[in-house]
């Protein structure tokens, strides 16, 4: 019998997809309310990889950029995934644990969590629709 983690080995149908939505980045007293757009490539049997990210909204958001791309995505169950080597602006690099919803079209949720001196939270919906088996 397969464990939940091994059963959630890849996004379906996989291939290229986009995750977009609001993202909050807190660094000290500064709170950026940004819109994020991440280009992701689903890797059959292995999760996925974030290959590019843009932030928009305020001028400060637009000036914020990703570091350390690509970011590997490893599904840990049918309802969660880990994003590794994530770097945002002056926040440094770290790991983000995301919730995953298979409710169409599929979405990542980031509860407030530390990332290299910052705190990151948000919810990103994907297109085209994806599921974790």
Compute and round to an integer the Cα radius of gyration of the chain: 14
Cβ atoms 64, 25 nearer than 8 A: yes
For residue 87, is pLDDT > 60? yes
How high is the pLDDT of residue 81? 95
Closest CA to 85 of 124, 35, 51, 128: 51
pLDDT for 10 equals 82
How far apart CA 53 and CA 51 sit, in angstroms, is 7
Task: Select from 82, 84, 94 the least CA-distant residue to 119.
Answer: 94
Report pLDDT digits (tens) over 33-49. Answer: 999 999 999 876 778 99
pLDDT class of 1 with cuts at 50, 70, 90? very low
What does the mean pLDDT of the chain come to? 89
Res 5: pLDDT: 41
pTM equals 0.88
Q: What is the pLDDT of residue 9?
A: 57
Q: What is the mean pLDDT of residues 80-105?
A: 94
Distance, CA of 97 to CA of 77 (rounded, Å): 12
Spatial contact of 122 and 22, defined as CB atoms under 8 Å apart? yes
């Amino acid at each position: 019998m397969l464990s939940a983690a091994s059963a959630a080995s890849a996004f379906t149908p996989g291939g290229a997809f986009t995750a977009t939505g609001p993202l909050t980045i807190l660094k000290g007293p500064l709170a950026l309310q940004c819109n994020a757009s991440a280009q992701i490539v689903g890797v059959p049997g292995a999760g996925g990889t974030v290959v590019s990210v843009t932030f928009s909204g305020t001028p400060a958001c637009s000036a914020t950029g990703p570091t350390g791309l690509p970011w590997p995505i490893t599904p840990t169950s049918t309802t969660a995934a880990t994003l590794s080597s994530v770097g945002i602006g002056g926040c440094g690099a770290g790991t983000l644990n995301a919730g995953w919803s298979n409710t169409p079209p599929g979405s990542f949720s980031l509860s407030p969590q530390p990332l290299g001196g910052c705190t990151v939270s948000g919810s990103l919906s994907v297109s085209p629709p994806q599921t974790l088996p």
